[in-house]
Amino acid sequence: EPEVTQTPSHQVTQMGQEVILRCVPISNHLYFYWYRQILGQKVEFLVSFYNNEISEKSEIFDDQFSVERPDGSNFTLKIRSTKLEDSAMYFCASRVQEGGNQPQHFGDGTRLSIL
């Protein structure tokens, strides 16, 4: 069964550094998402991406964050000048087509630890 893959599985970074989290969505999917989950809290939406542009973003997704799909397969989340509070699990998800009844499929996440 096709799956969403994410790398790295764990990233440890000094505060103030930039990190890039990578995702390879399922190949025929058209809608891409990033979510994060701070330890002990619920999963929160960050951004959605369709047709090579951001379609929606949350209040969390400020100028510190950016996404791109540079080569038609990888979907990346960049966090500039990381803060301690950016420590969380980051999940990438993808969905095949428009329609609220299509579920999103999640990658196994990147654990980001900011020191």
Residues that bind another protein (CB under 8 A): 31, 33, 35, 41-45, 48, 50, 55-56, 58, 89, 91, 93, 95, 98-109, 111
CB of 36 to another protein, least distance (A): 11
Going from the C-alpha of 76 to that of each of 9, 40, 42, the distances in angstroms are 14, 25, 22
d(CA 25, CA 63): 24
Question: CA angle, corner 90, sides to 87 and 93, nearest 5?
Answer: 170
Can you read off the two tokens belonging to residue 2?
A: 């096709």
CB of 74 to another protein, least distance (A): 18
Judged by CB, which is closer to another protein: 43, or 115?
A: 43
Judged by CB, which is closer to another protein: 72, or 100?
A: 100
Judged by CB, which is closer to another protein: 18, or 108?
A: 108
86: helix, strand or coil: helix
